[in-house]
Amino acid sequence: MTETALAETLREKIISDPEVILEDRDLMRALIAANERAMGSNIVDLRGVAMERLEARLDRLEDTHRSVIAAAYENLAGTNQVHRAVLKMLDPTDFEGFLRNLGTEVSEILRVDSVRLVLESLHSESDPALRHLGDVLCVAEPGFINEYMRAGRSAQPRSVILRQTMPQSEAIYGEAATWIRSEALMRLDLGEGRLPGLLVMGAEDPHQFKPSQGTDLLGFFAGVFERAMRRWLS
């Protein structure tokens, strides 16, 4: 095929289907650049400038779209993870099994390195043996939970707090406090006439729990947990 025939065939193809060029960014950019060169350096093609700006906006929109999709998938995965943990948490038929399951299978599903249940008791100070019962249950004196969640601040703490661990975290994690770097704190309402409880999830990764993260899923998990605890304490 001669060059003239090839040019004619290409021309007919473009006329019959111009979207082939319009949808090709690189080709359109090359055509605009060629047009600018033909006009000379003293002329500014405002259409070309506008197109460049529109392309930049389109790139930003595409990046935002990908970020939104990724966040949606991450949120869905987190929801499924919490739902599986809730179902596993409700399996045990006795309190000892409930605590053991919390520190093993439930923590594995949630991908945390430590789970602690803190209960306040009037007898915790007189009986030091009650401070750490097993690997999950910790018993503290009244007021400990509020002070630990406040971390020296005067404002009343929220019901769910995500943060890096505090120096006094050894009271909860014991020897593990040397490597637990971030934590999720969930205040528990154990019913009328009972002192509050605290569910604590700890992670070695200092960025696993951050104040900027959402707390809806953990709030839901804590709500189910405190209802299960009321059943065991009744």
Q: What is the pLDDT of residues 94-134, one digit of tens each?
A: 888 888 899 899 999 999 999 999 998 876 554 454 444 45
Kindly state whether residue 191 falls inside one of the protein's structural domains.
yes
Average pLDDT, the chain: 80
The total domain count for the chain is 1
pLDDT in tens, 3-20: 676 667 777 777 777 676
- Give me the DSSP letters along 29-57: HHHHHHHHHHH-TT---HHHHHHHHHHHH
Kindly state whether residue 47 falls inside one of the protein's structural domains.
no
Higher confidence at residue 64 or residue 182?
Answer: 182
Distance between CA 228 and CA 94 in Å, rounded?
A: 11
Kindly state whether residue 24 falls inside one of the protein's structural domains.
no
Judged on CB neighbours under 10 Å (0-12, 13-18, 19+), 220 is middle
Kindly state whether residue 26 falls inside one of the protein's structural domains.
no
Q: What is the pLDDT of residue 145?
A: 92
pLDDT in tens, 130-173: 444 457 888 888 999 999 998 877 777 789 999 999 888 888 99
Kindly state whether residue 83 falls inside one of the protein's structural domains.
no
Kindly state whether residue 197 falls inside one of the protein's structural domains.
yes
Q: What is the pLDDT of residue 127?
A: 46
Average pLDDT value for residue range 57-64: 76
- Predicted confidence (pLDDT) at residue 57 exceeds the cutoff of 80: no
Give the domain range for residue 113. Answer: 92-233
Partners of residue 198 on adjacent β-strands = 118, 187
Contacts within 8 Å (CB) and 24+ apart, 77-84: 78/217, 79/217, 81/109, 81/110, 81/111, 82/110, 82/217, 82/218, 82/220, 82/221, 84/109
Higher confidence at residue 14 or residue 177?
Answer: 177
- Predicted confidence (pLDDT) at residue 214 exceeds the cutoff of 80: yes
Q: What is the pLDDT of residue 152?
A: 73
- Predicted confidence (pLDDT) at residue 51 exceeds the cutoff of 70: no
Q: What is the pLDDT of residue 39?
A: 62
Q: What is the pLDDT of residue 156?
A: 76
pLDDT band at 40 (very low <50, low <70, confident <90, very high): low
* CATH at residue 221: 3.30.450.40
- Predicted confidence (pLDDT) at residue 78 exceeds the cutoff of 90: no
Q: What is the pLDDT of residue 180?
A: 93
The residues near 133 (Cβ < 8 Å, ≥ 6 apart) are 139
Amino acid at 25: R
Distance between CA 159 and CA 144 in Å, rounded?
A: 15
pTM as predicted? 0.67
- Predicted confidence (pLDDT) at residue 1 exceeds the cutoff of 70: no
Kindly state whether residue 127 falls inside one of the protein's structural domains.
yes
Kindly state whether residue 148 falls inside one of the protein's structural domains.
yes
Q: Which two tokens stand for residue 29?
A: 């950019």
- Say what angle helices 216-233 and 46-89 make with each other, to 10 degrees: 10
